Every structure is written in structure tokens, then in C-alpha cells.
Structure 1
Amino acid sequence: MTDSIHSENAPEPVGLYPHARRVGNLLFLSGVGPRKKGSKEIPGVTLNPAGDIIEYDIEAQCHSVFQNVKTILESSGSRWENLVDVTVYLTNMRADFATYNRLWAEYFKDAQPCRTTVEILSLPTPIAIELKCIATID
């Protein structure tokens, strides 16, 4: 059985896709970024009038994206501790990895999913981090 899940508490997807899909006891989250629900606001980002990034705070974005993942997990009947695999996309590995890695260690001190971190050129919105997650549902 496959169920599409749309969380009322998470930021709206930027395309035609669900926040998550449940297949058996596995939960697959679509890419999750740090945007705030109900707006296009991205914590810690300053844009110029053309919408290009002037500066950003990776720490603020990490806190926000982790919260968004947690919100989607809980809305889907799962929880943070049930994460089993996370792929992290960073737009600037050299500048942001140390901060992101430090925050990861704080958030995942007790529950440690598998993790892959890759650098990409850009993301569809002016964000510096996005997570793709797989979790279990009890």
C-alpha cells in the first residue's frame, strides 16, 4: 500500500509532489528545505531585488530544515528517531560543512541515521541546504 502525505504544518512543496509517501512501514520524504510555512521566507537569507542570494546563514537554515523534517515526520506518524537514511545537499561544501556537521552532531546525538552529503551547484529556491530522508513508521 502506498499513501501520499501532505502535512498541514510544513512549508508547502514548490512543485506537484507530496511531503512524503508511505510504503509499508517505510516513509520517503520529498526534498525538504528550510523555508517557513505559509511564505517564501528562508531563515537567514538576504536576497537582492532580482532574487539572488546576497548572503545567508547556514546555521539558521540547518535549524529550520531539521525542524521542517521533524514536522513532516510527526505529521506522517513517524518521529525523528526513526530516520534511517538522510541525503544532504549543500550548495557550498567548503564554507558550510563544518557548521552543518557540528549541528548534525547536536541533532543526531542519540539517533544516528546513515548519511550522505553532496555538494550541488544550486537548488530550485535560494536555499543552501536540502534533505532527502527515509524513515520507518512504528
Structure 2
Amino acid sequence: MSDAVRTDAAPAPVGAYPHARRVGNLLFLSGIGPRDPASNAVVGNVHDAEGRLISYDIDAQCRAVFANVRAVLQASGARWEDLVDVTVYLTDMAHDFKAYNRVWAEYFPDPATAPCRTTLGITALPTPIAIELKCVAALTSPLLHAGED
């Protein structure tokens, strides 16, 4: 049995997929970026007069993507502490990894209880964002969370 999750508390998916899907006691989150749920604007992006991206704030994007992940977890009946595995996609590993790692440590101060993490440097994401997270959470009781969307 599986249950799809969608929520207005996180930015709308950019394709035909749910924010998350529950399968048994696991919750799989689709890739989540740092777009603002209300405006759909990318947090931290700066554009020139012609609308071209000229810079971005990786710290702001990290915090926004964590907030969006938290919103999807909550809509799914899960908690931040339920995260067990996170795949991080950065479009500029050389420039952004240190800042990302610093923000990660604020959100997960104890490495012993932090989720596992893999960080990949990639050339682009589907929208003009610098970071995207793909997460897996473990639910303590999948039946307890059923119907809480």
C-alpha cells in the first residue's frame, strides 16, 4: 500500500509527481528546492533588468529548502527527526559546499543522530536553483499517520 502526499505548505512540484509517497513505514520525498511556497520565487536569487540570474545566496537557499522539506514531512505526519537519508544536489560544489555544510550542521548538530547524507555536484537542476534535496524518512507507525494529509 502507498499513499501520495501533496501540500500547499511547500512549493508545488514542477512536474507530475507528489511531494512524497508513503510505502509501509518509509516516506520518500520527491526532490525539493528552495522556492517560496506562496510566490513560487526562488529564495535568494538576484536577477538583472532583463530577468537573467546574476547571483544567488546559497545560505538563504539552504534554509528555504530545509523549511520546504520540513513542511512536506509535517504534511506527511513525519518529523524532522524521522529523516534517515538525504541526497543533496549542488550546482556549484566548489563554491557552495562549505556554506551548505555549515547550515547542515546547524540543523543537525549531532552527527550521531543526523541522517545519512550524500552530496553530489551537478551541472543544472530543472529550475534556476542551486540546491535540491531528495529525502527518505522512517515513520514509526505507518497506520498511525494514514489519513492525516
With structure 2 as the length reference, what TM-score do the two structures score? 0.88
Equivalent pairs counted in the alignment come to 138
| Residue 125 (structure 1) aligned with residue 144 (structure 2) | no
| Residue 104 (structure 1) aligned with residue 101 (structure 2) | no
| Residue 53 (structure 1) aligned with residue 53 (structure 2) | yes
| Residue 13 (structure 1) aligned with residue 51 (structure 2) | no
Which stretches of structure 1, 4 residues or longer, exceed 3 Å deviation after superposition? 48-52
Range that drifts further, 108-117 or 84-93: 108-117
Between structure 1 and structure 2, the one with the greater Rg is: 2
Range that drifts further, 23-32 or 36-45: 36-45
Gaps of 5+ in 2: 141-149
What is the CA distance between 1:81 and its match in structure 2? 0.3
Q: Distance in 2 between matches of 1:103 and 1:38?
A: 23
Q: Distance in 2 between matches of 1:17 and 1:49?
A: 33
Superposed, which structure 2 residues align to 1:29-40 within 5 Å? 29-40=29-40
Superposed, which structure 2 residues align to 1:56-95 within 5 Å? 56-95=56-95
Partner of 2:145: none
Q: Is contact 1:2-1:21 (8 Å) kept?
A: yes
Partner SS state of residue 77, structure 1: coil
Q: Deviations over 1:61-120 (max 9, x none)?
A: 000000000010011010100000000000000001100001101101144000000000
Q: Is contact 1:25-1:136 (8 Å) kept?
A: yes
Gaps of 5+ in 1: none
Partner of 1:135: 137
Partner SS state of residue 103, structure 1: helix
